[in-house]
Every structure is written in structure tokens, then in C-alpha cells.
Homo-oligomer: A and B are copies of this chain.
């Protein structure tokens, strides 16, 4: 199975640091290159690791706070200069169309855009993968996203040989999980095929702890969440509707995720990152902290 590659292009919270730029995550799978949020300076983050933003197919905006979106005007302008020749699809919560229209007054956007406001639904669905969004709870409308490669039934050559099955449309039926009759003999799909398990990556950025986050993250192979606050600052997290390390770990635990990566790291913890990790580990073992330019392939 082709892998999903995650590249962290920015892992800071609202104020960038020497080591961390504003939020941006690139998810690549086959021909899809999906940018999740686009904080200020994202186009230069692409440059810094020799990636070209012209390969982008979609941009998913979690919410329209500046630290997640101020890189958009520059990115769109640069794509135009670099003769981006596809239709760039932009998805986001309520308000997305308004903000894109405002952007157009600022930038002469010459590339074709398709803008979608989406809420609590599977909004991309094809035979290979789907993308789902659920609404989070933050100080402005906020979406979280799951990218899911579907399970796929694969035929086993050796078993097809055993049953002496010819290369004909009956293979397609078996591959679709249907049982068939061949030479007056019933052959079950499961006798000649197996199911290759899909993969699920979920990205939950600015939000307070909520049930939608847990249900969206259900059974994720990789769960990426914001973690703006240490549990020591949980009053602040509550006030500004953000996750603490413990909230993030709680989502991962309840959703039975395989691995959790914390991002949206505040400069206030820059010298105490191991403490952040420890706090989360008390609740959920498989956890790590994101770094700018880190890549993960699953």
C-alpha cells in the first residue's frame, strides 16, 4: 500500500519562535498534496526543505485565526507567479468564503480557486480514500479533519492458481468481496483474497476538549492534535478554548489512536518540552512532540 507522508511545516502556536513557524501540515498521498492550515511564512517553509507548493491539490483550513491563515495571501500569489495550472480547492468552516473574498481584495489571485464551506461530513469520497470533517469548539468556527485510506480487498495469486481461476471478470467480483460459482463450484471471495487494512490520520487543531474530537479521531493510526497548554495552565486552556497535554492524550486514549503527536507548541514551554510529553504520557503512552520539518510516513 502506498504510504501517507506527513510533513510538519510549522508547529508553533500564535507566536513563532526561532525553531517553530506558524501552523501548517502537509499531507501527501499519491497525487494528493493537502495543506492543513497555512500560517504566515508557510511558503518559505516549503522552500526551506525544497518542496514546491505548486504540487498542492487542496488546502484545508481548520479556522480563520491569523496564526493558521496569514500565509495564504503570499502562497496564492507565489502559486500564480509559478504558473500553478490546476484548480486549487480550499475547504474550511463557515466564514471561509467571506475570508477568501477579502483576500481577493488584497491579492490579485489569478489562479482558479474552488472554495467550500463544510461542516460535519465526509466531503471527499472516492474508491481509495475519504476526508471527513467534524466541528470543534473554539473561539471561532473550527474544523478538524480525518484523511482515511479505505480497506482494500486484494486477490492472492497463489490461491487463484489453486482454484484454476482464469483472468476474467469473475476476478473483479471476487475482488469486490462477492462469492461466485465457477465450474459449478462455489468459491468464496474470502478463500482467494484478503483485506488490506486502510490507514487513518486525524488532525485536530485549535479546540477545547469535546466529543466530536474523540469520535473523529476513532481508531486513527496517527492522531495529531494541538497542545497549546500544559496541564499546569489548564485555566488558560479553558479560557482560550484550547487543549492541554492531558486533553490531547485523553482524546487519543478514548479514540484508541495508535500514536499521538502534539503540535501548536507555545514558546512558553520551549525549554520544558519533556515535561509536556511526560504529562501526556501519564494518560496515553505512544506520544511525541512535533518539530518543524519533521516527516512521518505511515
Contact = CB atoms under 8 A, between A and B. Distances in A.
A79 to B, nearest CB: 11
Interface string A128-166: 000000000000000000000000000000000000000
A78 interface: yes
Nearest to A65: B77
A271 interface: no
How many chain copies?
2
Interface stretch (A16-24, A202-210, A224-232): A16-24
Contacts of A17: 47
B81 A14 contact: yes
Contact of A41 (B14, B44, B102, B105): B44
A43 interface: yes
Contact of A47 (B18, B82, B107): B18
A31 to B, nearest CB: 24
A197 B199 CA distance: 71
Nearest to A78: B15
Contacts of A48: 18
A21 B70 CA distance: 15
A105 B102 contact: yes
Contact of A40 (B18, B71, B102, B106): B71
A13 to B, nearest CB: 10
A15 B70 contact: no
B70 A66 contact: no
Contacts of A105: 102
Nearest to A106: B102
Nearest to A66: B77
B15 A81 contact: yes
Contacts of A102: 102, 105-106
Interface in A8-46: 14-18, 21-22, 40-41, 43-44
Nearest to A73: B70
Q: Which of A44, A73, A105 has the most CB of B within 10 A?
A: A44
A73 B66 contact: yes
Interface of A: 14-18, 21-22, 40-41, 43-44, 47-48, 66-67, 70-71, 73-74, 77-78, 81-82, 99, 102, 105-107
Listed from nearest, the 7 A-B pairs whose CB atoms lie closest are: A41-B41, A40-B74, A16-B44, A70-B74, A66-B77, A70-B73, A18-B48
8 contacts: A16-B43, A16-B44, A16-B47, A40-B43, A40-B44, A40-B70, A66-B106, A70-B77
